[in-house]
Amino acid sequence: MNHASFAARLASRLACILLIATCARLAPSQETKPPRVRVGSKSYTESVILGEMLTLLASAAGARAEHRAELGGTQIAYSSLKKGEIDAYPEYTGTLTMEILGDQQVQTDEDIAAALARNGIKMSRRLGFNNSYALGMRRALADELKIAKISDLKQHPGSNARSGAARSRLKFGFSDEFMNREDGWPGLSVAYGLSDYARGLDHNLAYAGIRSGTIHVTDVYTTDPEIAAYEMKPLEDDLRYFPQYDCVLLYRADLDQRAPQVVANWLRLEGAIDEPTMIKLNARSRIDRVFEGRVAGEFLNGTLGMKVTIPPDDRWRRVLVNLAINTRQHLMLVCVSLLAAIVVAVPLGILAYRLPPARQLILGGVGILQTLPSMAVLMFLLPLLGLGAWPTIAALFLYSLLPIVRNTFAGLNEIPANLRESATVLGLGPRARLWLVELPMASRSILSGIKTAAVINVGTATIGGLIGAGGYGQPIITGTRLNDITIIMQGAIPAALMALAVQGLFELAERFVVPKGLRIAAGKST
């Protein structure tokens, strides 16, 4: 059979298969199939509860609804909507004007709607609550000092927590994001003429600091249930410094045709949730630890008088599904970065061995990379590579270089001089010496460097959770945010187990990679 006739037969078979597949796909669409609707939400409780509401409302309208919860931050959620990976998610007007459309000078709702329409996105009217920044302090302390408005703080200048100068001075502690946002503390302190003594700390730790009295004033979100739970008082923004963060729904314009009933159901939320209600809903989830789906369903049935089926709290199923997804993502981060590092680091190690003038440069260079803090590397890579997996992979790649380069160099360098000469006097050229003698003899050391890199990578890859790369870092970040150790464990325990598994896997691999003679020799010498 010649090649041409073989190709012709292959092509005709492929055509048959394609035809059958196409028919199979077309067949069911002739009857009216329920529309498929994907709802997204960002990685915090309020967004997830609203996402659950949208999902339940879409199901009630007959759609096949799916909730892709906890997509990370604004950038990820909005770009997913723009690309059509999700059909809707809850957003805030302040975020739209300041962040998403920040470069377009939008002011009014009409401006926003017009700007969104250019991307095929529509915006609902306001749902009824404003989740803005506010400054908060313990109610008892505020009442004692007669502080009701932010401008009242001028009578109580902030103090550097470390100076501890006067006991009457208030200690200001703000979330790191608030400390650094232009519309956060830097702008606020100027607008109100407050002294700028304040320290940054994690938002979740701020509440603990307020309770213990370590700090007196912090930034809060106005719908945080902790405000009530910790007996705090939000101070009035009397100069109207903070922008409004009114909650709205963003959805793809084509839904009006694709699933008009779904949109109609969603818009029933307009004006239906006021601030006290949202605070209660958040409290049900964050403080009473009720599953977000139930919180959403009970609200829809109770307040909106609907009859949606409240989903069962399939917590364990969610844990397992998340575990599977996180494991896959984590493995991807580790494997891709490790493979790239092997491809680069082994030749670098060989170069350091073969080319003494380059040795210091190579070994020193990868050594310096290792000393950079992982957060700093990640943040440096963000503008270059965007959000998601790539910056994480790039950071892991950089950290993997040192152990592999160093062990490749060391393994080659410790080959006894008489054996190197033995290979030379046999008449083997440099390349043959490398492949037949030097690399096999250094294989144990090289493999051990790769193992070190892999084990470190499994742990370090958890920083990817910060920037939407997924993996075991995701539950660690979520758990830290919710102050929920059980969620943190869902990332920490599998990460530790994976590190152990990687270690075991490499010990197994040694049997195949390291030549038998070396293993026998090592067994004898120990």
Partner 1 sequence: MIELKKVSKSFGSTQVLQPTNLRLTPGETTVLIGPSGCGKSTILRLMIGLIEPDDGEVLFDGTPLTPANVKLIRREIGYVIQDGGLFPHLSAQDNVGLLARYLGWEKPRVVARVEEMADLTRLPREALARYPSQLSGGQRQRLGIMRALMLDPAVILLDEPMGALDPLVRFDLQEDLRKIFVSLKKTVCIVTHDMGEAGFFGDRVILLGSGRIVQQGKLDDLIRSPADDFVRRFINAQRLPTVETQGVL
Chain residues that interact with partner 1, rule: CB under 8 A: 418-419, 421-429, 432, 436-437, 440-441, 443, 515-518, 520-521, 524
Phi-psi region of 164 (alpha: psi -120 to 50; beta: other; left: phi over 0): left
By beta-carbon proximity to partner 1, the closer residue of 369 and 428 is: 428
Cβ-based nearer residue to partner 1, 104 or 422: 422
Select from 59, 17, 16 the least CA-distant residue to 36.
Answer: 59
Give the residue with the Cβ less far from partner 1, 301 or 443.
443
For the CB of residue 446, give the shortest distance to partner 1 in the complex, in Å.
Answer: 13
| Single-letter amino acid code for the residue at 454 | A
Distance CA 471, CA 134 (A): 33
User: Which of 45, 448 has the CB closer to partner 1?
Assistant: 448
Q: Which neighbouring-strand residues pair with 38?
A: 66
Q: How far, in Å, CA of 433 to CA of 426, rounded?
A: 10
Q: Is 368 exposed, middle or buried (0-12, 13-18, 19+ CB in 10 A)?
A: exposed
> C-alpha distances in angstroms, 113 versus 122, 233, 292?
7, 35, 29
Tell me whether residue 342 or residue 514 sits nearer to partner 1 (CB atom): 514
3-state secondary structure of 160: coil
Strands (DSSP E) contained in 289-376 are: none
- Cα separation, 137 vs 134, whole angstroms: 10
Q: At closest approach, how far in Å is the CB of 436 from partner 1? A: 6
Measured between alpha carbons, how far is 245 from 183 in angstroms, rounded to an integer? 13
**CB 386 → partner 1: shortest distance, Å?**
45
For residues 136 and 372, what is the distance between their CA atoms, to the nearest angstrom? 36
Taking the complex as a whole, the smallest distance from the CB of residue 507 to partner 1 amounts, in Å, to 19
Query: Measured from the CB atom, is 302 or 416 closer to partner 1?
Result: 416
**Strand pairing class (170-171; 158-159):** parallel
Q: How far is CA 91 from the centre of its chain?
A: 18
For 202-264, give the secondary structure using H, E and C: CHHHHHHHHHHCCCCEEEEECCCCHHHHCCEEECECCCCCCCCCEEEEEEECCHHHHCHHHHH
Shortest Å, Cβ 493 to partner 1: 39
CB nearer to partner 1: pick between 28 and 429: 429
Q: What is the DSSP letter of 128?
A: S
Q: Which is nearer to partner 1, 214 or 443 (CB)?
A: 443
Segment (H or E) for 172:
none
> CB of residue 498 vs partner 1: minimum separation in angstroms?
31
Residue that is written with structure tokens 């300041």 in the block = 98
Closest approach of partner 1 to the CB of residue 206, in Å: 59
For partner 1, the closer of residues 28 and 427 by Cβ is 427
Closest separation in Å from C-beta 424 to partner 1? 7
Q: How far is the CB of 470 from partner 1 (least distance, A)?
A: 41
